[in-house]
Chain A
């Protein structure tokens, strides 16, 4: 059973620092906020799942750095953002594996949906000083795919409802999320 941490940032700039010594799932929801996150995986074998979900209206930046300080540590980062207007949204995502940290898994999946013509940037960095690491990264910036809209609408769902379903699916990207802990964020999705 992993430890669960919920964070909801609402129009604020914050820094977070975590020292992870047990398996942890962090659900980080952000409304129009910038923040810097640094995480040290300090105990051998610990697993971190980090879900960052962000609704953006102004120019904002999110940076996260995960340091694999011990062997057999595992990190999975899922960073999803919706850039609503024509603003700048930047993600800097670093996974760091030290030379003496062997057999680590270090993965990241980053996606930003531009609802308008926002200028979004994702900088995924895997800084790995070891030969036995399992590591992947993915980055996508764009609109919801046309084929998604077609499929949903072909079942009678209006364009507006289809967007609502897609936004919910994109921003509430884990079935384990306890909805009552993020009401503010859920309400914000309805306003997009």
Chain B
């Protein structure tokens, strides 16, 4: 599904290289988790995969279902099926949640979405993520708590039905109950769409107890330094990143 080969990326207009010969292959139905110290490039990787304006790919390839997407616009990557669940979802005052989501769904499926059926569908989807239906008519993420913003992200992925989901620190700002609800919804989505793959970026193994990863990678200094199972996540929690970073993959 996703193949990243020797990817190098830097902050746009600056000589700050963040991803350094980064490589990773994610097959259909696989769940991968990336952990790593602050500033090591985890969130940059998520943004670069989505085509963020603040970063520039200097070399290497990002292939999605065999297509090189390096030069694709952000919306084209989304239309191919990539979804970035953001660490700090953007607040856009004036643009209603419903208008935004209906427009996005229309763009993804390539036809206008009937307002009445959309609102009806949304009501049950919102209930499942424990969001009040009145939030559909409020400005996008405006006045939402940290937890509500994350639930709104999950609501979006349920509506837009991506093939590859990047969860960038989904657990930040979520209380225990909210994290459980959000993860249950993601697991239900995977069950309904079993070919979906997930890349989880996190600092803590707690989320990995809800969404079980097939592989856990430790990223240090812009590239993966170690790969293992969920045990690696617990090892990192216990011992930190000391000793990881030799550049040798297990």
Contact = CB atoms under 8 A, between A and B. Distances in A.
B40 to A, nearest CB: 22
Interface residues of B, number: 32
A96 interface: no
Given A155-B100, A170-B94, A172-B94, A150 B74 contact: yes
Contacts of A149: 53
Interface in B140-160: 140, 156, 160
A159 B94 contact: no
Contacts of B84: 154
Contacts, number: 81
A180 interface: no
B50 interface: yes
Contacts of B73: 153, 159
B113 to A, nearest CB: 12
Interface in A168-192: 168-170, 172-173, 175
Interface stretch (B13-21, B103-111, B177-185, B202-210): B103-111
Contacts of B74: 150, 153-154
Interface in B222-245: none
A150 B54 CA distance: 10
A146 B52 CA distance: 10
Contact of B78 (A148, A156, A161, A173): A156
A168 B75 CA distance: 20
Which among B50, B90, B94 has the greatest number of chain A C-beta atoms within 10 A? Answer: B94
A157 B75 contact: yes
B94 A156 contact: no
Contacts of A152: 92, 95, 100, 104
A169 B95 CA distance: 5
B92 A159 contact: no
Most buried by A among B54, B89, B95, B137: B95
B52 A165 contact: no
Contacts of A166: 92, 94-95
B71 to A, nearest CB: 15
Interface string B50-66: 10111000000000000
A138 B140 CA distance: 21
B94 A158 contact: no
Contacts of A157: 75, 100, 103-104, 107
A156 B108 contact: yes
A151 B92 contact: yes
Contact of A161 (B52, B54, B103): B103
Interface of A: 146-159, 161-162, 165-166, 168-170, 172-173, 175
26 contacts: A150-B74, A151-B86, A151-B89, A151-B140, A152-B92, A152-B95, A152-B104, A153-B74, A154-B50, A154-B77, A154-B78, A154-B83, A154-B84, A155-B75, A155-B100, A155-B101, A155-B104, A155-B156, A157-B75, A157-B104, A159-B73, A162-B75, A165-B100, A166-B94, A168-B94, A168-B95
